[in-house]
């Protein structure tokens, strides 16, 4: 691990809204920050103009280096922060593996999703590809980049199986507007951060259909129940889903137009096609990929997830959104807690 000091060299992989926001936060704490953008053309544009349109008028400080060279970005860093779309995660880690000798010992994943082919979480892929000798943490919770970058009070979770690593990440990111809690339930924190995006798409669909608060409250509550049931079956802790990376992240993602997943769902509910909605959102809405993994995990662990299944049917099987909502409402009646828990 990095030695105790006031100023660190930090590599941030991913120059989207969240990567830029985390890079800026770390820069403001006096660290030396380098940021990697895989697209060389986009990297040059960001480096020259210092503007990322989804963050509107925010100017990326000139002191933050921006490069499309992975080796240049990582070399000499004390910490590695990964904030890229989940669909690109495995390929990126495979590239990191090729320069393994340059990779810092402490790696922080700010990725919310799964590898679709293997259904593995980001930290599982990191451990599988990089092997022993690395300290791995997850940063997750209710944190819209658009608000964090304006220094609006935010609380988030740093999770690691190693309490010392979690505390180190906590100290690295903590500011007077960005409060960081620790957790040792890395699985639960990752699952909550990924699966809530599917429910956010569903929430957006109900808004696009013009349905009311009652509908959305029921949908989010039952969606949260699905997440908990699957998470517990996969070995996560119940209490994690009642915390910031669980219900906290679910709330913020299901109610805000800052949420790409909510916006995507709203456009679908309003009648747009998948491609039209995706184009209008402009940046990656993780839920549209995660829902495919969610359906596979539901089958693998034998956990019924009707809300997630209906989102999948709407997005990938052409199901009419209003019809899907009606089918959820008319399923066989049951107890809210059939097993008493």
A 10 A CB-CB count for 331 gives 9
Res. 249: pLDDT tops 80:
yes
- pLDDT value at residue 341: 45
For residues 328, 245, 81 and 161, what is the CA-based torsion angle, rounded to 10 degrees? -120
1 pLDDT band, cuts 50/70/90, is very low
- pLDDT value at residue 113: 96
- pLDDT value at residue 192: 97
- pLDDT value at residue 158: 98
Least confident of 4-18, 72-86, 175-189: 4-18
- pLDDT value at residue 283: 86
Res. 2: pLDDT tops 70:
no
Strand partners, 35: 12, 66
Q: SS3 of 120, please? A: strand
Closest CA to 337 of 246, 257, 228: 228
Reading the block at residue 123, the tokens are: 């930290």
**Structural domains of the chain in order of their starting residue, each with its CATH number:** 9-184 (3.40.50.720), 194-329 (1.10.1040.10)
Q: SS3 of 163, please? A: helix
Closest CA to 194 of 88, 290, 129, 109: 290
Interatomic CA distance for residues 333 and 20, integer angstroms: 47
- pLDDT value at residue 340: 47
- pLDDT value at residue 338: 72
Catalytic member of 90, 112, 187, 196: 196
For the entire predicted model, the pTM comes to 0.94
- pLDDT value at residue 337: 81
A 10 A CB-CB count for 77 gives 21
- pLDDT value at residue 47: 95
Res. 3: pLDDT tops 60:
no
Reading the block at residue 174, the tokens are: 């903590």
Decide if 294 contacts 312 (C-beta within 8 A).
yes
339 pLDDT band, cuts 50/70/90, is low
> Across the chain, what does the average pLDDT equal?
95
Closest CA to 126 of 168, 84, 156, 155: 84
Query: Stretch 242-251: mean pLDDT, rounded?
Result: 97
Give pLDDT tens digits for 92-110: 999 999 999 999 999 999 9
Q: What percent of the chain has pLDDT over 90?
A: 94
Q: Quickly tell me which residue has 């959820």 as its tokens.
A: 328
Q: Quickly tell me which residue has 């829902």 as its tokens.
A: 291
Res. 321: pLDDT tops 90:
yes
Give pLDDT tens digits for 255-280: 999 999 999 999 999 999 999 999 99
- pLDDT value at residue 38: 94
**196 catalytic per annotation:** yes
Q: Quickly tell me which residue has 């240049």 as its tokens.
A: 72
Interatomic CA distance for residues 200 and 258, integer angstroms: 11
């Amino acid at each position: 691990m990095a030695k105790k000091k006031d100023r660190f060299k930090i590599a941030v992989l991913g120059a989207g809204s969240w990567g830029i926001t985390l890079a800026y936060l770390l820069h403001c704490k006096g660290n030396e920050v380098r940021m990697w953008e895989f697209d060389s053309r986009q990297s040059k544009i960001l480096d020259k103009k210092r503007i990322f349109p989804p963050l509107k008028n925010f100017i990326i400080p000139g002191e933050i280096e921006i490069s499309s060279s992975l080796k240049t970005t990582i070399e000499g860093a004390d910490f590695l922060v990964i904030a890229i779309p989940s669909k690109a995660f495995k390929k990126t880690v495979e590239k990191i593996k090729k320069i393994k000798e340059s990779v810092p010992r402490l790696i922080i994943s700010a990725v919310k999703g799964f590898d679709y082919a293997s259904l593995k979480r980001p930290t599982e892929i990191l451990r599988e590809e990089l092997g022993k000798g690395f300290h791995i943490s997850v940063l997750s919770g209710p944190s819209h980049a658009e608000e964090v970058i304006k220094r609006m009070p935010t609380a988030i979770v740093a999770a690691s199986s190693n309490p010392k690593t979690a505390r180190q990440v906590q100290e690295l990111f903590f500011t007077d507007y960005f409060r960081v809690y620790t957790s040792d339930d890395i699985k639960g924190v990752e699952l909550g951060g990924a699966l809530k995006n599917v429910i956010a798409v569903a929430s957006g669909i109900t808004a696009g259909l013009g349905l009311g608060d009652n509908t959305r409250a029921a949908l989010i509550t039952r969606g949260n129940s699905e997440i908990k049931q699957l998470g517990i079956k996969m070995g996560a802790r119940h209490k994690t889903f009642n915390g910031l990376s669980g219900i906290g992240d679910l709330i913020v993602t299901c109610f805000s137009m800052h949420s790409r997943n909510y916006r995507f769902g709203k456009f679908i509910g309003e009648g747009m096609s998948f491609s039209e909605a995706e184009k209008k959102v402009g940046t990656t809405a993780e839920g549209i990929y995660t829902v495919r993994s969610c359906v596979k995990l539901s089958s693998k662990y034998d956990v019924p997830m009707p809300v997630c299944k209906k989102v999948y049917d709407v997005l990938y099987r052409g199901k009419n959104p209003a019809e899907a909502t009606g089918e959820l409402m008319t399923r066989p009646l049951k107890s809210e807690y059939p097993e008493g828990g």
